[in-house]
């Protein structure tokens, strides 16, 4: 099975590098550095991860047009690819609207913005002289002084129906948000297929990746509690309402958002039940997590990307689970 590893930026760069090296030795395919505002920066961290490893591919996800202008993103992608040819993945995405708003950044018309952003990134990374007057973005004759040695694959980050369709239409792959239940993943894949068909492509030409929150421990309670923290962080967003419903659980998103806004994580975790944890993540022993992972793959993920929770030693267990997955 193909597997990736995701970092949420909530813990130190030294810990991420240690896990990245282990993932590289274990044979994981890719590393995905999440861009959560107010936590560790995704682009500088991605460069550090490339420098610390030999084979594994690295993506900063998402690269948002609202926080990083197209020319700045193109420069970053090209610089990383120059340093580690063939090991860089681009992952354009609008980013978390709630977090952007907290930072004083508005995020209007996400679909049109993303369409224009991806078009501009591709043009700049090909070395075109770009004159573009879009509805949301403009470039007046910029041309990169250096470009990647080969096309860099672009995975569109998406969670809502219309963005998923756009990802299927214009992306080389689509990256699903963390916390998606298997039922929601199946629906997402249907939207991606619709978008691919609009562009005259078949679904098998679109790689479907997705973050899966994972906690491995011989103490099942410890694993469940570890996953609750991250699920609380992302489920405060209203766009996860359908996902939660299709997972079969209930979450008071308004109360949860208030607790997260206060950064009261213990209160926030209380809004996430054990049933929600099992519906939207994998938790337990390595064997139990392998069994649970199968449901996410069956739902349509080509590339499960594990987001390890808990202490550093617990996170290492998630990475080492790669061996057990591929021995089944």
Q: What is the pLDDT of residue 326?
A: 67
pLDDT digit of tens for each residue in the chain (328 aa)? 899 999 999 999 999 999 999 999 999 999 999 998 999 999 999 999 999 999 999 999 999 999 999 999 999 999 999 999 999 999 999 998 878 998 999 999 999 999 999 999 999 999 999 999 999 999 999 999 999 999 999 999 998 999 999 999 999 999 998 899 999 999 999 999 999 999 999 999 999 999 999 999 999 999 999 999 889 988 988 889 999 999 999 999 999 999 998 999 999 999 999 999 999 999 999 999 999 999 999 999 999 999 999 999 999 999 998 777 766 5
- Is residue 304 within 8 Å of 3, Cβ to Cβ? yes
Residue 236 domain-assigned (yes or no): no
Max Cα–Cα distance, the chain, nearest Å: 58
Residue 249 domain-assigned (yes or no): no
Total domains in the fold of the chain: 1
The tokens for 267 are 């209160």
Residue 227 domain-assigned (yes or no): no
Residue 123 domain-assigned (yes or no): yes
Provide the whole-model pTM.
Answer: 0.93
Range of the domain at 103: 4-214+288-310
Q: What is the pLDDT of residue 323?
A: 75
Q: What is the pLDDT of residue 99?
A: 86
Residue 250 domain-assigned (yes or no): no
For residue 81, the domain's CATH number is 3.20.20.30
Peptide bond into 62 cis (omega under 30): yes
Q: What is the pLDDT of residue 68?
A: 95
* Cβ neighbour number for residue 287 with a 10 Å cutoff: 12
Q: What is the pLDDT of residue 97?
A: 85
Residue 267 domain-assigned (yes or no): no
Q: How far apart are CA 233 and CA 14, in angstroms?
A: 23
Residue 257 domain-assigned (yes or no): no
Residue 251 domain-assigned (yes or no): no
């Amino acid at each position: 099975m193909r597997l990736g590893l995701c970092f949420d930026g909530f813990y130190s760069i030294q810990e991420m590098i240690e896990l990245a090296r282990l993932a590289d030795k274990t044979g994981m395919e890719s590393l995905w550095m999440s861009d959560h505002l107010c936590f560790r920066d995704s682009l500088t961290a991605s460069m550090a991860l490339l420098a610390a490893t030999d084979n594994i591919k690295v993506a900063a996800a998402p690269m948002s047009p609202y926080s990083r202008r197209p020319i700045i993103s193109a420069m970053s992608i090209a610089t990383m690819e120059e340093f580690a040819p063939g090991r860089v993945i681009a992952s354009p995405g609008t980013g978390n609207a709630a977090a952007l708003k907290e930072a004083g950044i508005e995020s209007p018309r996400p679909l049109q913005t993303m369409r224009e952003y991806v078009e501009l990134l591709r043009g700049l990374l090909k070395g075109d002289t770009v004159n573009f007057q879009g509805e949301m973005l403009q470039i007046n004759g910029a041309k990169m002084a250096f470009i990647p040695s080969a096309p860099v694959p672009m995975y569109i980050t998406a969670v809502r129906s219309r963005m998923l369709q756009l990802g299927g239409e214009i992306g080389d792959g689509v990256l699903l948000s963390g916390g998606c239940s298997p039922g929601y993943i199946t629906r997402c894949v249907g939207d991606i297929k619709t978008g691919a068909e609009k562009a005259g492509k078949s679904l098998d030409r679109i790689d479907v990746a997705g973050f899966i929150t994972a906690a491995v421990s011989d103490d099942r309670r410890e694993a469940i509690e570890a996953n609750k923290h991250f699920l609380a962080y992302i489920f405060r967003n209203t766009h996860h309402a359908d996902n939660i419903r299709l997972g079969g659980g209930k979450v008071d998103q308004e109360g949860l958002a208030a607790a997260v806004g206060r950064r009261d994580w213990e209160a926030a975790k209380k809004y996430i039940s054990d049933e929600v944890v099992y519906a939207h993540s994998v938790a337990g022993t390595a064997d139990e997590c392998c069994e649970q992972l199968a449901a996410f793959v069956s739902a349509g993920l080509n590339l499960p990307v594990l987001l390890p929770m808990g202490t550093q030693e617990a996170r290492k267990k998630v990475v080492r689970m790669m061996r057990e997955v591929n021995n089944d």
